[in-house]
Amino acid sequence: MLEVTGLELALPDLSAKRGFARAPLVSILRNLSFCVNQGESVGVVGQSGSGKTSLGRTLMRLNEPTSGRIVFDGVDISHLQEAELRPLRRRFQMIFQDPQSSLNPRRRIGQSIIQPLMAYGMLTNPQQGWQRSEELLERVGLEPMLSRRYPHELSGGQRQRVGIARAISLEPEFVVADEIVSGLDVSSQAQILRLLRRLQSELGLTLVFISHDLSVVRAVCDRVIVMSHGEIVESGSCAEVFSHANHWYTRELISAIPLPDVDEKWLNDIDAQDNKVG
Amino acid sequence: MTPLLNIRNLHVKIREGAASVPILRGVSLSLAPGEVLGLVGESSAGKTMIGKATLGILPPQAVITDGEIFFDGENITHISVKARRRLLGTDIAMIPQDPMTSLNPVFRIGPQIADVLRLHLGFRAKEANQRVLELLDDVHINQPERVVKLYPHELSGGMRQRVLIAIAFACRPRLIIADEPTTALDVTVQRQVLRLIKELQSALGTAILFVTHDLGVVAKICNRVGVIHAGRILELSSAQNLFKAPAHPYTQALMAATPRYDRPNNALHPVPEALVKHLWDDVRRYDRGDFAKDKSHA
Amino acid sequence: MALTAMTGSWLAPHDPLEQDLLNSFLPPFWVAGADPAFLLGTDNLGRDVLSRLIYGTRVALMVAVIAATLTGMLGTTVGLLAGFFGGWVDTLVSRMVDIWMAFPAVLLSIVLVAVIGAGLHAVIIAIIVIDWTRFCRVVRAETMVQCQQDYVASAVTIGLSRRRRLFVEILPNILPLLISLLTLEMGIAVVVEAILSYVGLSVASDAATWGGLIQEGRLYVNQAPWLMVFPIACIIVAVLGFNALGDGLRSAFDPVLRR
């Protein structure tokens, strides 16, 4: 469904701007190549600065790649203009990280949810709009009456579910979820992950799940791609990568996760050289 | 032996408009010298408030309505500002959560650390600067002479957190409140920082009240663990016992909701609504023995 | 204030222009020797202070509303475009604003009025010309902040055009800020009008404006302090009133503030 070849992204680094000169470009994504098959859920993991969020946004064409290709269901979308992209956009959607800022704070929930439907002219009257929004809210396990509320009246977990409702409203084939459980309590996180799994099987979605939390990715994804400094360091099925990681970075990442088991050796199990920083 | 920190039946309420919302509803715990006690719970469970109440830095709308806090036998619940100033920094210190905002962005690192030394230990400028270099070395920062001249935004998140740890340990306090110190860090950096905290803690015999939402972190660094929800401590026991056989249903629910990469086939179960509701209505503090006797909550 | 301005002609007990030299320098009603027919006293030419203040309200309000609205429209439009499009648009606008703000405001307004000719329309134009930069800067900054928010990115993913993103998504979130700025500007407009009429550059000198009243009162401040005090008080009340209006409007219309 999605094929990425040699993807590169470089953005101007405004903090390094000197005087009136143009800001120097800094390479965010370097020569990335991978594919995602239909119906798969692929996790993209990495620490801060790895470029995983930028990858998600570039896949959604919120950024234009500097070079390389993104092919979505046979169509090269790498450098299409807005007008050409528009009809395709309804087939790939994104769920954003921050439930606080991803919903327009001055719109009611119901209006935000059906906004994609309205943008594509799929609603005939306002009544139908409210109805659809209530249906979608139920689909993600929220009470329909929440559609009249404003985002700030909902909890973080609820807002995130609204974000999901919005993303699936157009019944897309492909969804990118960018750190959607990061700010949530472990209980809300469990709810969202279960919801996501359920929706994925109900709608036959292809999912790219971006997260810094490997344990979460393990719970949701079939395959995983590990990123560091804008490059793919390792990729493979979750079962393989987690039990026999090839790359040292992946191994280090996995062993750094504290499992909820008492283990005195875990703290001391680091190479001596790691300990000095500066 | 007198516990270093003894909190008895602490009640804290927050004023929101006309109403008063209870945040802590009878929290009791004690910390022995040199012990690391973890407080684990979800956000807004009240765990941060316990640390803040101990330090005396509760937000203005929050009030201690009942209960007492004893530090080394002395009642510090409502002491004067002056007395508290003598305590803070020297006997009790804090490692704050967000390294980005906890350091003053317009001052270099050196002076920010030196401040603590000059204020509490009466160091003079030259001695303070020397000591700062030593402290930075304690937290394993390379080339401290270079780092003292840097501004906070020029350091990585992990390094900033080490600076904050250096500041916390600077006066060799007997108790440190660590408020989610590794939450904002990458997982590899977190491990290094946790290791550092443990190293300094055992070398100096500092007691630590370690507040976090992460069960994994608590398992690795704490001697004893308290599980807090709905303003009360639901379970308090040694880390070993808690993780081997959690007694309280809430603790079990938390563990069932936490994903583990080594057990991918475990289904994730959110904490049941009924349990949460029950906890807000009525809760007794569960010791291991308590629960064994009280089968009605099974 | 609005009421007073609108009903001024009926409310005012006397014709503000009517001069009555026999009754000059009467003090306000609470001081001995006052004439109750002239509640707040009279000025050097026997004109009733209260009536003049009331007519002055009309001028002040007109200037405030018209000037603030037009200034706001100009500044906001430019600011929105600069903030949203960035790039050369932003650079151009920002440089222009910088240069514009480098001119001393008072001098600029005096020059303007000298060129256009005195009168209310001149005052309004002067205010627009000088103060649009205030709106522009703030709106630009806020627009840039809003553009970073995910709900804007979200709008892109459903294919909304740039025009729709700007007006339908971002603008409502700028509105509360705009309301505050507008009411602030109204207060400023009143003060600027007072300054200009003090300097004699506003409407004709015997028409009643607050600034004009202050100017005339200045000459007699030792004999008849009330001639200066009352118009100043009016200006203060007006500015405070506009600010309160702004707070009230924000609370009433902003769903985020309304809890």
Q: How many CB pairs under 8 A join A and C?
A: 65
Q: Residue B88: its pLDDT value, please?
A: 83
Instruction: Check residue B286 and give its pLDDT.
Output: 42
pTM of the model: 0.78
Quick check: A272 pLDDT over 50?
no
Give the chain A residue whose CA is nearest to the CA of C174.
A106
Band the pLDDT of B200: cuts 50, 70, 90.
very high
Q: Work out the pLDDT band at C162, boundaries 50, 70, 90.
A: confident
Q: What angle do CA B211, A46, A256 make, to 5 degrees?
A: 50
Residue C204: pLDDT band with limits 50, 70, 90? low
- How far apart are alpha carbons C58 and C218 in whole angstroms? 22
C-alpha angle B284-B290-B291 in degrees, rounded to nearest 5: 90
Q: Tell whether the model's pLDDT for residue C5 goes beyond 60.
A: no
The pLDDT value given to residue C36: 63
pLDDT tens-digit readout, B106-127: 888 898 888 888 888 888 888 8
Are B250 and B279 in contact by the 8 Å Cβ rule? The answer is yes
**Which residues in chain B are closer than 8 Å to A189, comparing Cβ atoms?**
257, 259, 268
Predicted pLDDT at A17: 64
pLDDT at residue B103, rounded to an integer: 86
**A133 pLDDT band (50/70/90 cuts)?**
confident
Percent of chain B with pLDDT over 90: 33
Which residue matches tokens 């005939």?
Answer: A124
| Residue in the block written with tokens 């009809």 | A87
Inter-CA distances, B297 with B26, B285, B294, C75, C232, Å: 20, 12, 7, 65, 73
- Given a cut of 80, whether residue A62 has pLDDT beyond it is yes
Judge: C154–A166 Cβ closer than 8 Å, yes or no.
Answer: yes
Amino acid at C151: Y
How much is the pLDDT for B39? 93
Among A73-87, B150-164, C163-177, name the most confident range: B150-164
Integer CA distances (angstroms), C243 to A88, C53, C178, in order? 49, 21, 13
- Boundaries of every domain in chain C: 2-253
C255 touches chain A (CB under 8 A): yes
Pick from B146, B267, B271: CB nearest A187: B271
**Section B138-144 average pLDDT:** 89
The pLDDT-based confidence of C203 (bands split at 50, 70, 90) is low
Cβ of residue A62 closer than 8 Å to a chain C Cβ: yes
* DSSP type of residue B52: H
User: Is residue B295 predicted with pLDDT exceeding 50?
Assistant: no
**Are the beta carbons of A258 and B191 separated by less than 8 Å?**
yes
Q: So what's the pLDDT on residue B282? A: 60
Distance, in angstroms, between A268 CA and closest chain B CA? 7
Q: What is the pLDDT of residue C26?
A: 56
Q: In the predicted model, what is the mean pLDDT of residues A174-196? A: 88
DSSP H helical segments within chain B, as ranges? 47-55, 81-87, 99-102, 109-121, 125-138, 144-147, 157-169, 187-204, 215-221, 239-244, 249-257, 273-281, 288-293
Right CATH for B5-91+173-297 from 3.40.50.300, 3.40.50.620, 3.10.50.40, 3.40.47.10: 3.40.50.300
ipTM > 0.85 for the complex: no
- pLDDT of C121 above 50: yes
Taking residues C237-255, report their average pLDDT: 79
pLDDT at C176: 84
Q: How far apart are the first and last CA of chain B?
A: 35
**Two structure tokens written together for A222:** 């079939």
Average pLDDT for residues C52-70, to the nearest whole number? 81
Look up residue B297 and give its DSSP letter: G
Contact A96 C256 (CB under 8 A): no
Q: Is there a contact between C172 and A104 if contact means CB atoms under 8 Å apart?
A: yes
Residue A110: pLDDT over 80: yes
B183 falls in which pLDDT band (50, 70, 90)? confident
| Residues in A touching C177 (Cβ below 8 Å) | none
CA-nearest residue to B44 within chain A is: A185
Above 90 in pLDDT, residue C88? no
How close A80 gets to chain B, by Cα (Å)? Answer: 35
Q: What is the pLDDT of residue C27?
A: 58
User: CA B257, CA B252: separation in Å to the nearest integer?
Assistant: 9
- Residue among B140, B219, B269 minimizing CB distance to A258: B219
- Highest mean pLDDT: which range of B41-50, C41-50, C72-81: C72-81
Which range in A66-80, B190-204, B282-296, C28-42 is most confidently predicted, on average pLDDT?
B190-204
pLDDT averaged over every residue in chain C? 76
Q: Tokens standing for B233? A: 């401590």
Residues of C in contact with A86 (CB under 8 A): 159
- From chain A, the residues in CB contact with C150 under 8 A are 96-98, 101-102
Which are the contacts of C243, defined by CB distance < 8 A and separation ≥ 6? Answer: C183, C184, C187
For chain C, say whether A18 makes contact (Cβ under 8 Å).
no
**Parallel, antiparallel, or unpaired: how do β-strands A92-95 and A223-228 relate?**
unpaired
Q: Determine the residue of chain A that is closest to B195 in CA distance.
A: A267
Optimal mutation site among A61, A104, A109, A174, interface C, most CBs of chain C within 10 A: A104
Residue to test with chain A: of B48, B150, B188, most A Cβ within 10 A: B188
What backbone torsions phi and psi does residue C215 show, to the nearest 5 degrees? -60, -45
- Confidence category of residue A20, pLDDT binned at 50, 70, 90: low
- Report whether pLDDT(A273) > 60: no
CA atoms within 13 A on the CB side of B247: 25
Q: Would you place residue A118 in the very low, low, confident or very high pLDDT band (cuts 50, 70, 90)?
A: confident
Q: For residues A118-134, give the mean pLDDT.
A: 83
Which of B44, B194, B220 is the best residue to mutate to test the A interface, defined by the most A CB atoms within 10 Å of its own CB? Answer: B220
For residue C220, pLDDT beyond 80: no
User: Which of B162, B192, B243 comes nearest A262 by C-beta?
Assistant: B243
Predicted local distance difference test score (pLDDT) of residue C207: 65
Nearest-Cα distance to chain A for C251, in Å, is 13
Tokens of A140: 């993600």
Identity at A86, one-letter amino acid code: R
Q: What is the mean pLDDT of residues C146-150?
A: 83
Cross-chain Cβ contact A170/C160 below 8 Å:
no
What CATH number has the domain spanning C2-253? Answer: 1.10.3720.10
pLDDT score at C171 = 79
Q: Supply the pLDDT for residue A208.
A: 93
pLDDT of C97 strictly over 60? yes
Check: CB of residue B182 under 8 Å from CB of residue B217.
Answer: yes
* Helix/strand number for chain A, H first, E second: 10, 10
Q: Is the pLDDT of residue C178 over 90?
A: no
Burial A75-106 (b: 16+ CB within 10 A, else e): eebbebeeeebbeebbebbbbbbbbbbbbbbb
Give residue B100's pLDDT band: very low, low, confident or very high (50, 70, 90). confident
Per-residue pLDDT at B294 exceeds 70 = no
The angle formed by the CA atoms of residues A173, A174 and A175, to the nearest 5 degrees, is: 130
Residue B271: per-residue pLDDT: 84
When the pLDDT of each residue in chain A is averaged and rounded to a whole number, the result is 85
Cα A140 from Cα A84, distance rounded (Å): 31
* pLDDT band per the 50, 70, 90 thresholds, residue B30: very high
| Stretch A38-57: mean pLDDT | 90
User: Can you give the pLDDT at residue B22?
Assistant: 87
Q: What is the mean pLDDT of residues B19-44?
A: 88
pLDDT for B207: 94
* pLDDT for residue A15: 67
Residue A277 scores a pLDDT above 60: no
Q: Does A110 touch chain C (CB under 8 A)?
A: no
Inter-chain residue contact C150 with A96, CB threshold 8 Å? yes
Amino acid B224: pLDDT: 93
Given the DSSP bridges, would you call strands B224-229 and B232-238 parallel, antiparallel or unpaired?
antiparallel
pLDDT at C259: 47
pLDDT at position B292: 37
Contact A170 C254 (CB under 8 A): no
Contacts of A96 in chain C (CB under 8 A): 150, 153-154
Helix (H, G, I), strand (E, B) or coil at A208: strand
The average pLDDT across A214-241 equals 91
* Calpha distance B231→B227 (Å, rounded): 10
* Among the partner residues A86, A89, A105, nearest to C173 by beta-carbon distance: A105
**Residues near B63 by Cβ (< 8 Å), separated by ≥ 6?**
B12, B13, B14, B15
The answer, yes or no, to whether residue B195 has pLDDT greater than 70, is yes
- Please, is B58 exposed, middle or buried when counting C-beta atoms within 10 Å of its C-beta (0-12, 13-18, 19+)? middle
**Residues of chain B found within 8 Å of residue A239, distances taken between Cβ atoms:** 264
Strands B62-71 and B74-75: antiparallel
Cα–Cα dist C232/C53, whole Å: 10
pLDDT at A25: 83
Can you tell me the distance from the alpha carbon of A86 to that of C258, in angstroms, rounded to the nearest whole number?
Answer: 36
Q: Tokens representing C113? A: 């009025």
